[in-house]
């Protein structure tokens, strides 16, 4: 089974917090004002943050879980 997860490019993330505001699961936090961090256990891969990110650096990844 594949789990959909949001992943951001931390190297260019400006930590503006747009994704944090829009996340319905409160799965995103800003790490020390440097980049956004996605909590994989909470993320449902809805993609709202992907649409919101002003730098368009969040993508939805498919992660294989279980056998």
Partner 1 sequence: MKKPWYDYLWLVSALYLILGFFNILFAWLGMICFITPLVISATKGTKSYCNKYCGRGQLFLMLGKRFRLSRNRPMPRWMTSKWFRYGFLTFFMIMFAQMIFTTVLVFKDTRGLSETVKLLWIFKVPWKWAYRIRTVPEWISQFAFGFYSVMLTSTILGLIIMILFKPRSWCVYCPMGTMTHLLCQARLTKYEQN
7 with 59: CB under 8 angstroms?
Answer: yes
Is 12 a binder of partner 1 (CB under 8 A)? yes
Which of 3, 7, 14, 40 is close enough to bind partner 1 by CB under 8 A? 14
Q: Which residue in the set 4, 25, 34, 65 belongs to the binding site for partner 1 (CB under 8 A)?
A: 34
Contact 4, 45 (CB under 8 A): yes
Question: Token digits for 30?
Answer: 């800003």
Q: 3-state DSSP call for residue 51? A: helix
Count, residues near partner 1 per rule CB under 8 A: 19
Q: Which residues contact partner 1 (rule: CB under 8 A)?
A: 12, 14-18, 20-21, 30, 32-34, 51-57
């Amino acid at each position: 089974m594949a789990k959909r997860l949001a992943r951001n490019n931390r190297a260019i993330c400006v930590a503006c917090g747009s994704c944090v505001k829009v996340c319905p699961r409160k799965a995103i936090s800003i790490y020390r004002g440097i980049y956004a961090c996605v909590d994989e256990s909470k993320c449902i891969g809805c993609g709202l943050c992907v649409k919101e990110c002003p730098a368009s650096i969040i993508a939805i990844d498919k992660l294989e879980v279980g056998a």
